[in-house]
Amino acid sequence: MGRTIIEKIIAGHSDRPARPGEIANVVIDVRAARDFGGANVVKNLQQAGLGIDDPGKTLFTFDTNPGGSDQGYAANQHFCRLFAREYGIGLRDVTQGIGTHLALEEGLVGPGSTFVSTDSHANIMGAVGAFGQGMGDQDIAAAWAEGKVWFKVPPTVKIILNGVPGPHARAKDIVLCMARNLGADGLLGCAAEIYGDVVENLDLESRITIASMATEMGGIIALFEPSEGILKELEDLSGIRFPAIAADPDAEYIRTVEIDIAGLEPMAARPGHPEDAVPVSEAAGRPIDSVFIGSCTNGRISDLRIAARILKGRKVAPHVVLKVVPATRRIWEQAMAEGLIADLMAAGALVGNAGCAGCAAGQIGQNGPGEVTVSTGNRNFAGKQGKGEVYLASPATAAASAISGILTTEDAITEPRPIRPAAGKPAAKAPVAAGATAPKPTVLEGRVWLVNEANIDTDMIFHNRHLAVTDPAEMGRYAFGNLPGWEDFPAKAAPGDFVVVGPNFGCGSSRQQAVDCFLTLGVAALIAPSYGAIYERNAINAGLPVLVADLRDAGLQNGQGIRVDLNTGAITWEGGGLKAEPFSRVQMDIYQRGGLLAR
């Protein structure tokens, strides 16, 4: 039986045959930590008394807040700089840009490589047929200390893109169409391989755009087989000639999904949900206040070329702010040399230094209450890029909208007209509460809180404005602080409580705080039909019990008592019961130890 791409990569980096469902210890070629997670990685290592396996394969990337414009970020960055100097660890400081893109530019990653980072879009490496995975602070600390991490081999979905897109559609429109068809959890827990006639003509930057949004469909990673053209692009970029990698002809897939992109129009994802994508024509005319062009999804040189071409000789609408952030310093310098920066600035754009910008609470790209933004980022969760509304779109649509002052496409640019500002209100601030970590029995009893919603993302659980918080004792006060109706959860929760939620819980970011806030409150366990892949790992590694079961229609009431047996998966209450998936050996071992790094 043949192997898929992900199975080949994992098998080549472990001592396992790497079949779906198996757990392998995977050797990691490149292990990165960003500025918002790096300080916690270091603290985890220090608290556990662990060293660095190979400083040459280990690095910090300061991409979420270039310049350290926030005191929390500035403190964390300097803390990490000192650690890097002491241990000889690589450092890509605030001048360099997005870490995942730097890894590709510098040839640190190529087809068949393995890469982990505290960036939930580390799976961008699938663009070149490499394994990339976003992980939490404890996972990365373990990778730094041991050079490998445990990983459950995912099944693979084969995606076939049928047809030729319309003349104005680009890679971003293709991936938004994919998200619309697959939904927020259509690839949950799975890898994907992407095929179709259009794929052969996708250059490296287009593949990066598509691969970067696998996370928004619940996927572990979306992989492309690197063509000869892609291998040549990588060689030109990094100076390294990488070998190709491809799935075996008889590889087995969990399912095949065909998506029709014939005649595809430019797309936009409506605020709050990357998968809520529609043709721009269905939402055209929506007045906007700002535009952001950048991010790991669309901050490449080709994206800036498209935006500059459309904006050249034109002006941004008087009431619109256009913010542009190249992904890396190399791209910034190339855009300068080509005159793109001059064209963008002449049109009225603010051009920031390279990095993630608004996607990660950086100093450029956030919006305020009531502000309507067109963004080329990968996420538009409520509160993710600020407190306003965010439409996701391609750089072409973003540039056209900036000129027109309304959501529109390149072929429908109009003269801007005065508009009425959008209304909105800021999210409520969560009150402060304290709790204690529960002991580690295998039979748990307590009351339930029923948060009956699907796709609760990590910004709803622990908002990105608190990412600089590194003290776990402070994290509980922010739990569910961005989930409407549940902002007072920390004040109501008590040690030993269970939190029962809907499917795809914890989708989105790799932030560890979204787990640790529940540990601070003393939550006994989380129970959901399914979890975001990174979130589930973070919870297991932190020693927080997570059970897979659907209690939404069980007739339970808030405050009702239940009993959970972690060994058998049995969940019982007065008058009823069902069985969850029992803990795996790895999960039980980590739970009993009190966390991945406990020795």
Q: How far apart are CA 373 and CA 407, in angstroms?
A: 9
Q: How confident is the model at residue 420 (pLDDT cuts 50, 70, 90)?
A: low
Q: Taking 70 as the threshold, does the pLDDT of residue 362 lie above it?
A: no
Q: Taking 50 as the threshold, does the pLDDT of residue 72 lie above it?
A: yes
The CA-based dihedral angle spanning residues 102, 108, 110, 115, taken in that order and rounded to the nearest 10 degrees: -90
Distances (CA, A) of 74 to 38, 68, 358: 12, 4, 17
Q: Please check whether residues 119 and 255 belong to one and the same domain.
A: yes
Q: How confident is the model at residue 386 (pLDDT cuts 50, 70, 90)?
A: confident
Q: Please check whether residues 308 and 241 belong to one and the same domain.
A: no
- Residue that is last in its domain, among 260, 291, 313: 260
Which pLDDT score, from 0 to 100, does residue 423 have? 52
In a domain, 248, yes or no: yes
Mean of pLDDT over the chain:
93
Which pLDDT score, from 0 to 100, does residue 358 have? 76
Average pLDDT rounded to a whole number, residues 358-379 = 85
Percent of the chain with pLDDT strictly greater than 90: 86
Percent of the chain with pLDDT strictly greater than 70: 95
The single residue listed with the structure tokens 């049928």 is: 162
For the stretch 6-65, pLDDT in tens is: 999 999 999 888 999 999 999 999 999 998 889 999 999 999 999 999 999 999 999 988
Q: What is the CATH number of the domain that holds 479?
A: 3.20.19.10
Which pLDDT score, from 0 to 100, does residue 431 have? 43
Q: How far apart are CA 341 and CA 351, in angstroms?
A: 7
Q: How confident is the model at residue 435 (pLDDT cuts 50, 70, 90)?
A: very low
| Residues listed for the chain | 599
What are the two backbone dihedrals, phi and then psi, of residue 347, each rounded to the nearest 5 degrees? -80, -15
Q: Please check whether residues 181 and 43 belong to one and the same domain.
A: yes
Q: Please check whether residues 454 and 540 belong to one and the same domain.
A: yes
In a domain, 186, yes or no: yes
Q: How confident is the model at residue 69 (pLDDT cuts 50, 70, 90)?
A: confident
Per the CB < 8 A criterion, the answer to whether 394 and 172 are in contact is yes
Give the ranges where 114-212 is alpha helix by DSSP (H): 137-146, 171-182, 204-211
Q: Reading across the β-sheet that carries 350-351, which strands appear in turn?
A: 277-279, 267-269, 389-392, 372-375, 290-294, 321-325, 350-351
Contacts 24+ apart (CB under 8 A), 13-22: 13/114, 13/131, 13/148, 14/148, 16/153, 18/153, 19/153, 20/153, 20/154, 20/155, 20/156, 20/254, 21/152, 21/153, 21/155, 22/152, 22/153
Q: What is the CATH number of the domain that holds 293?
A: 3.30.499.10
In a domain, 418, yes or no: no
| Helix H or strand E encompassing 225 | none
What pTM was computed for the model? 0.86
Percent of the chain that is helix, strand, coil (3-state, to 5): 35, 20, 45
Give the ranges where 147-216 is alpha helix by DSSP (H): 171-182, 204-211
Per the CB < 8 A criterion, the answer to whether 403 and 389 are in contact is no
For the stretch 545-568, pLDDT in tens is: 999 999 988 999 999 999 999 999
Which pLDDT score, from 0 to 100, does residue 64 have? 87
Of the listed ranges 227-231, 253-257, 434-438, the one predicted with least confidence: 434-438
Give the ranges where 183-316 is alpha helix by DSSP (H): 204-211, 228-238, 280-283, 295-298, 301-311
Per the CB < 8 A criterion, the answer to whether 130 and 8 are in contact is no
Q: Taking 90 as the threshold, does the pLDDT of residue 312 lie above it?
A: yes
Give how many domains the chain has, as a whole number. Answer: 3
Distances (CA, A) of 300 to 110, 113, 128, 239, 594: 18, 22, 15, 19, 42
Q: Taking 80 as the threshold, does the pLDDT of residue 257 lie above it?
A: yes
What are the two backbone dihedrals, phi and then psi, of residue 289, each rounded to the nearest 5 degrees? -115, -25
Q: Please check whether residues 151 and 210 belong to one and the same domain.
A: yes
Q: Please check whether residues 389 and 479 belong to one and the same domain.
A: no
Average pLDDT rounded to a whole number, residues 378-398 = 92
Q: Please check whether residues 64 and 212 belong to one and the same domain.
A: yes
Could you list the residue range(s) of the whole structural domain that residue 570 is in?
443-593
Q: How confident is the model at residue 437 (pLDDT cuts 50, 70, 90)?
A: very low
- Residue that is last in its domain, among 212, 231, 260: 260
In a domain, 188, yes or no: yes
Average pLDDT rounded to a whole number, residues 279-283 = 97
Q: How far apart are CA 336 and CA 327, in angstroms?
A: 14
For the stretch 159-213, pLDDT in tens is: 999 999 999 999 999 999 999 999 999 999 999 999 999 999 999 999 999 999 9
Q: Please check whether residues 127 and 179 belong to one and the same domain.
A: yes
Q: Are strands 267-269 and 277-279 parallel, antiparallel or unpaired?
A: antiparallel
Q: Please check whether residues 137 and 14 belong to one and the same domain.
A: yes
For the stretch 490-521, pLDDT in tens is: 999 999 999 999 999 999 999 999 999 999 99
Average pLDDT rounded to a whole number, residues 114-120 = 96
Q: How many other β-carbons are positioned within 10 Å of the β-carbon of residue 488?
A: 14
